Structure 1
Amino acid sequence: MSVDSRSRQMSLAAYVMVPTAHHHGAWRHHDADLGFLDAHWWIELARIYERGRFDMLFLPDLLAIPDQAGGYEATVSKGSQGAVQLDPLVTLAAVCAHTTHLGLGITRSVSFHPPYDIARSMATLDHLSGGRAAWNIVTTSMRSAALNFGQPLPERNERYDRGDEVIEACIALWESWAGHALVADKESGVFADPGAVSRPDYQGKWISVRGPLSVPRSPQGRPVLMQAGASERGRRFAARWGEVIFALQHSLPDMQAFYRDIKSRARNEGRDPDQVKILTGVQVVVAETAELAEVKRRELEALIDPVAGLLTLSYQLGIDLSDFPLDDMLEAIDDVPGTRGSLDVVLQGTKAEGLTLREAAVRYATSELTPQIVGDADQVADELERLFVNEGCDGFIVTPGPLPASATDFVDLVVPVLQRRGLFRTEYEGRTLRHTMGLSPL
């Protein structure tokens, strides 16, 4: 398959979480470099993705070591998701000066981070990076995170309502400086025009902030807004605010249904659906030949501890799954206190393939039940193209295996094939992330 180079092109974002992203055995692989506590590790990784012309390096975040099943000791022992979690803002600030075009996706929770802090830090990063910042907006559902911050966990039905106010307050702060406000005229002695700096005095039910912001208007006006809402309320939230939507779906029909739904919701919010980029999560295992890729997949699979998948699934759903029969399916679960979207993805996979909880835990430890694409470069590109041209997505959030090796494999093997087919850029055309992703300037 191929498309004309004048047709739309896909976006690619890298999802990096240490010690493990979606594959819970990757950190144990002989190709894995575990030097992620060194800034140079992150700088070199970012340079690989920038060499591959990726839109963005995206760092998720957890505000507590998951302790839903077996306590935090089990998570730390297994190296499960969240065992180590560096601050994404500090980490990508270290990367900022060593890259030129790569977008920098930072996760900040609207449940615990106050809007002034979010607005100031994100505007600062947007300035220092020349307009490459993105804010991944999350509503935290982990009780252990609330305990770490010494704050109550917002009620389930209030998380997104409160999140609406945090975003409104942040936007008001970002807009408190007009683009022409900073004068810096040495001769007249006028540093900034006070008439072009306003005080928003935002007042909501949960959030209030006076302002103005102490950071002038940034190159993008505000960072690109990312979101991953998948529940009914989460989708409404994503359709209202998200410019980049991180989707976790099991198969092409699921992707297409989600794609149509979010685009329709965005239109109903009065937004241009083309300004809402839906990137679906995929895990890629690629090698020079299909046989070598399969060998690599089997090597990685042999390193998986099913308990690690059960731990991650438990914290995401907010329930201790060790209390459930491992040889039964999860159909009996009607609702969860954690992330409803994660439950929906699990139910998609278990119903489609008849997986027991034990089998689902293994699959969750492999790719969190999102597509795992295994093959040589052409085979991987074929599948990415199939999902893309059939409107399953506007691009992909690529979750890695062993780092940095899996990043290098994707950039050196898959990206050139996508470029030859006209599916992906050969050069960055602009400096800001909005320009790179085809989002309208503000």
Structure 2
Amino acid sequence: MTQTRQLHLNVNILHGGFYASAWRVPQADPRASIDIGHYVRSARIAERGKLDAMFLADQPALEDRAEEKSFNGLEPSITLAAIATATSHLGLIATISTSYNEPYNIARRFQTLDLLSGGRVGVNLVTTANGAAAANFGQTVMEHARRYARGQEFAEVLLKLWDSWEEDAFVGDKARNTLLDKRRIHRIDHEGAFFKVAGPLNVPRSPQGHPIIVQAGGSDDGRDFAARYADAVFSVGEDQDLALAYIGDLRRRAVANGRDPRSIVALPGLGTVIASTEAELRRREEELGSLIPLDYAVRRIGGTFGQDLSHLDLDAPFPDLPIPTNGGHTFARATLNFARQGNLTLRQLIYKLGGGIGHRVLVATPEAAADDIEAWFLSGAADGFNLMPDVLPDGLEIFVDHVVPILQKRGIFRTDYRENTLRERFGLPRPTSRYAELPRRTA
């Protein structure tokens, strides 16, 4: 029996909220970004709303202008370990850099999380282009293509390590004094351009086999990466036409890599400002906009393009800047598209993006927000969204209490959790070990 397509909703817990000014509003706690209670409260609200997963971004460096803007400081996998004990169903996705980690450590850490959470974990692989992060590891930012080549090999090693244990390798037979069947545990003996890893992993398979892989790149290299390895993509969707073109291209690349084109779940980022009336909506948007530090926002947009934009007139049309050769292509291209589509000034662009970079921001009443989400979903432009509420946790609570019931009433979003693992919830098949059909050998 064919299952009806179902909307997927994650929440991206960005410290105090998506808006750069979120920590300054009266109801916000300035210390929220370093308080585990803040993340647990947000996760419990998301679980109450039957959301698919909680997503944590990361940057392994102190963010620019951290003295006047909340930031992601807590290490995400440790944060998720705490959240796992406080939730029962919510998926748990954390970001790690393939540029400044070793695959064995990450394979072990996330497989451990997956076991402890009962199969609810995903890892978002990013190829970090931040200079401050590179300096923290005694390096300089790698050239774009090299970053992605390392990222792809990183993903390949992760999968080999997660596959190194076959399904029934853990025996636990007391009578036969057999804890493990070592014939079903395999060295991987990987040797590549970036990594040399013997294996096997020292952690067995989890209820969903192993964590899902999420990828967030929109460049040509990023799309190739996703087409080969990603189970879900955290994309940037400026409008439906561009989002449809993106997912169409991604699915064609997946087929070229021998994959089912529907095996990748497309989840564009969506900033949300939700209020019950138009008057309340305008008040909330104006309050958040008025508290955005303009010089910070100008510097952040400039950083996206690798340029100093402080000399620009805030009220002149945003210039047609070149995409940086060695920076983050995705957000630069998205920011330019927003500016071009609305013929926006720099000031207008800052407010439209909430002081952020590139992701679409939906400013709407609950009914209008549900209309927008449903239209994108039914058109095929998105399988769901990575939600980024304006202020946390109250922006998420407004969405859960007022938008989710409308989506449920329309029959496109779940009313309860029926699946046990994150992989099942995303409609993805459970992976089998690549070693399952090989002759048995000792690790």
Query: Residue 387 of structure 1 corresponds to which residue in structure 2?
Result: 376
Runs of 4+ in 1 over 4 A off after TM superposition: 323-326
Alignment counterpart, residue 346 of structure 1, candidates 329, 335, 349? 335
Matches within 5 A, 1:23-422: 23-34=19-30, 35-66=32-63, 72=64, 75-79=65-69, 83-322=71-310, 327=316, 329-366=318-355, 368-422=357-411
Provide the secondary structure at the position in 2 that maps to 1:226: strand
Per the normalisation by structure 2, the TM-score is: 0.92
Unpaired runs of at least 5, structure 2: 432-443
Q: Which amino acid aligns with 1:27?
A: W
| 1:176/1:197 contact within 8 Å kept | yes
- Distance in 1 of aligned mates of 2:208 and 2:179: 22
- Distance in 2 of aligned mates of 1:272 and 1:323: 49
Provide the secondary structure at the position in 2 that maps to 1:178: coil
| 1:319/1:336 contact within 8 Å kept | no
Deviation (angstroms), 1:349:
0.9
Which stretch of the first structure deviates more once superposed, 322-331 or 133-142? Answer: 322-331
- Distance in 1 of aligned mates of 2:174 and 2:302: 59
Unpaired runs of at least 5, structure 1: 67-71
Provide the secondary structure at the position in 2 that maps to 1:397: strand
- Distance in 2 of aligned mates of 1:201 and 1:178: 16
Per the normalisation by structure 1, the TM-score is: 0.92
| 1:33/1:402 contact within 8 Å kept | no
| 1:229/1:235 contact within 8 Å kept | yes
Provide the secondary structure at the position in 1 that maps to 2:320: coil
| 2:119/2:207 contact within 8 Å kept | yes
Report the count of equivalent residues.
Answer: 428
- Distance in 2 of aligned mates of 1:186 and 1:45: 43
Query: Residue 15 of structure 1 corresponds to which residue in structure 2?
Result: 12
Q: Does 1:436 align with 2:433?
A: no
Q: Which amino acid aligns with 1:60?
A: A
Deviation (angstroms), 1:91:
0.6
Provide the secondary structure at the position in 1 that maps to 2:234: strand
Deviation (angstroms), 1:362:
3.6
| 1:319/1:338 contact within 8 Å kept | no
Query: Over residues 340-385 of structure 1, what are the superposed CA-to-partner deviations in whole Å (9 max), with x where a residue is unaligned?
Result: 1111101111111122344333433345343322232211101111
| 2:353/2:360 contact within 8 Å kept | no
- Distance in 1 of aligned mates of 2:5 and 2:327: 36
- Distance in 2 of aligned mates of 1:349 and 1:13: 23
Query: Over residues 310-369 of structure 1, what are the superposed CA-to-partner deviations in whole Å (9 max), with x where a residue is unaligned?
Result: 233234444433366654533142434310111110111111112234433343334534
| 1:15/1:398 contact within 8 Å kept | yes
Provide the secondary structure at the position in 1 that maps to 2:34: coil
TM-aligned CA distance change 1:200 to 1:184, over 3 Å: same
- Distance in 2 of aligned mates of 1:373 and 1:156: 31
- Distance in 2 of aligned mates of 1:357 and 1:99: 42
Q: Which amino acid aligns with 2:423?
A: R
| 1:308/1:365 contact within 8 Å kept | no
Query: Residue 69 of structure 1 corresponds to which residue in structure 2?
Result: none
Query: Over residues 280-328 of structure 1, what are the superposed CA-to-partner deviations in whole Å (9 max), with x where a residue is unaligned?
Result: 1112222233332232222222222222322332344444333666545
Deviation (angstroms), 1:187:
2.3
Q: Which amino acid aligns with 1:11?
A: H
- Distance in 1 of aligned mates of 2:247 and 2:15: 29
Provide the secondary structure at the position in 2 that maps to 1:104: strand
Q: Which amino acid aligns with 1:54?
A: L
TM-aligned CA distance change 1:277 to 1:138, over 3 Å: same
Which stretch of the first structure deviates more once superposed, 87-96 or 213-222? Answer: 213-222
Q: CA RMSD in A?
A: 1.9
Deviation (angstroms), 1:222:
1.7
| 1:318/1:337 contact within 8 Å kept | no
TM-aligned CA distance change 1:84 to 1:105, over 3 Å: closer
- Distance in 1 of aligned mates of 2:118 and 2:297: 39
- Distance in 1 of aligned mates of 2:68 and 2:3: 47
Query: Residue 440 of structure 2 corresponds to which residue in structure 1?
Result: none
Deviation (angstroms), 1:129:
0.4
Q: Which amino acid aligns with 1:163?
A: G
Deviation (angstroms), 1:174:
0.7
Deviation (angstroms), 1:6:
6.5
Query: Over residues 44-88 of structure 1, what are the superposed CA-to-partner deviations in whole Å (9 max), with x where a residue is unaligned?
Result: 21110001011110001001124xxxxx4xx122216xx442110
- Distance in 1 of aligned mates of 2:188 and 2:323: 42
Q: Which amino acid aligns with 1:361?
A: I
Q: Which amino acid aligns with 1:76?
A: A
* Percent of aligned pairs with the same amino acid: 37
Provide the secondary structure at the position in 2 that maps to 1:97: helix
| 1:291/1:375 contact within 8 Å kept | no
TM-aligned CA distance change 1:319 to 1:214, over 3 Å: farther
Which stretch of the first structure deviates more once superposed, 413-422 or 152-161? Answer: 152-161
